[in-house]
Amino acid sequence: MLGELILKTIIIVVVVNTVLAFGGFLTWVERKQSAVMQDRIGANRASILGLRLWGLFHILSDGIKMFAKEEFIPRTDHRKLFLVAPFIAWFFALMGFAVIPFSNTLHVAGYELSLQIANPQIGILFAFAMMGMTIYGLVLGGWASNNNYALLGAMRGAAQMISYEIALAAAVVGPLIVYHTLNMQEIVLWQAKLWGGWLPLWGIVVQPLAFFLFITAGAAGTKRVPFDLPEGESEIIGFNLEYSSMRFGAFMFTDFVEKILVSCLAVTVFLGGWQVPFLTENGFVFRGETLLALSPLVIWLIQPAAFFLKVCVVIYVLMLVRWTLPRFRYDQLMHLGWKIMLPLAFANIVITGFVLLVLKA
């Protein structure tokens, strides 16, 4: 029991720190990727002892800057809410990672060793629930700012996130019908199947429309361009208007954490999670022939790496979208959410159910 507690604690610490580090890293990635896309160089000036490392120290300098800046707190009746709001968002975004399976389960010395903090049967619902809770941080922040523009931004944000949360959930229903489970680990395991002996039956293969809807709604849920109406920092301004210093940083960081969470969910549900095609517990196997035999420990290490790689690809795509498309107008946003995505998601559910019924018959 104690061993399990220690183990879980270690896993929690590892996961949380990895996510946070990766989130910090993404701030640099975002700048660099956009720069390269736009024929620029991007942040590269921060240096330690003349060492620049392509601007990697900007993560550090940004952090220091965030902490060092003067914190401005508006005159408000909800000072406590104001202070705590960014961390509510942050906290719930991090909570979502609890159910993400980063690797397969390894049975060692009677322990089930898995890079997954918890594996409840309703894992995916937990993740969605946590994602949905981040809205509170946003709304509370906007409300407590005692600023009309912040409040309006928060209202826009809440409306937008609720709209897309539904599409997001509805999009996942299709795959869940196929997988027949809500357990995250089982979802991943289901995707180990090969269709025709060579095509991995990942969620993206069986549910391409759902994947597309999920990515779109996910981008909207993380308030990224082209769905950044809650913030709209350049002109319409948003819920974080009155925030400065590290509290602003927390809001900004929540964005990145959410982005990782959405990517993780997308990878888990649609891209086979930690699965590597043709990698079985004995090594790489293709049509019954063992191509490369590997020890279980190596396999167990390859799988999180694969997961990480897939997450990186999804994040790359999300960032690509963010630096390519201009922002929606609010009515277009609502039109897309309610009149296109949601019907499409429902249609997907119906068709999936119908197809499954036909296949069973």
d(CA 155, CA 163): 12
| Closer by beta carbon to another protein, 162 or else 320 | 320
| Closer by beta carbon to another protein, 40 or else 329 | 40
| Closer by beta carbon to another protein, 298 or else 347 | 347
| Tokens encoding 74 | 């508006």
DSSP 40-56: ---S----BTTB-GGGT
Minimum distance from CB of 339 to another protein (Å)? 13
| Tokens encoding 125 | 């619902």
Minimum distance from CB of 318 to another protein (Å)? 11
| Closer by beta carbon to another protein, 131 or else 167 | 167
Minimum distance from CB of 320 to another protein (Å)? 6
d(CA 321, CA 326): 9
12 Cβ contact partners less than 8 Å away, ≥ 6 residues apart = 117
Q: Which parts of this chain interact with another protein (CB under 8 A)?
A: 33, 35-41, 320-321, 323-325
Minimum distance from CB of 56 to another protein (Å)? 14
Please say whether the beta carbons of 70 and 360 come within 8 A.
no
Minimum distance from CB of 211 to another protein (Å)? 14
Residue 9 CB: number of other CB atoms within 10 A?
11
Minimum distance from CB of 36 to another protein (Å)? 5
| Closer by beta carbon to another protein, 10 or else 340 | 340
| Closer by beta carbon to another protein, 212 or else 330 | 212
| Closer by beta carbon to another protein, 16 or else 35 | 35
232 Cβ contact partners less than 8 Å away, ≥ 6 residues apart = 153, 238, 327
Classify strands 199-200 and 279-280 as parallel, antiparallel or unpaired. Answer: unpaired
d(CA 115, CA 273): 12
Q: Could you tell me how far CA 113 lies from the centroid of its own chain?
A: 24
Q: What is the identity of the amino acid at 213?
A: L
Q: Which of 296, 297, 303 is nearest to 275 (CA)?
A: 303
Give the CA count within 13 Å in the CB-facing half-sphere of 307: 24
For residue 226, cis peptide bond before it (omega within 30 degrees of 0)? yes
Minimum distance from CB of 43 to another protein (Å)? 11
| Closer by beta carbon to another protein, 41 or else 60 | 41
d(CA 300, CA 28): 29
| Tokens encoding 240 | 């974080």
Minimum distance from CB of 76 to another protein (Å)? 33
Beta strands in the chain (DSSP E): 106-108, 111-113, 194-195, 199-200, 279-280, 283-286, 289-293
| Closer by beta carbon to another protein, 9 or else 324 | 324
Minimum distance from CB of 51 to another protein (Å)? 15
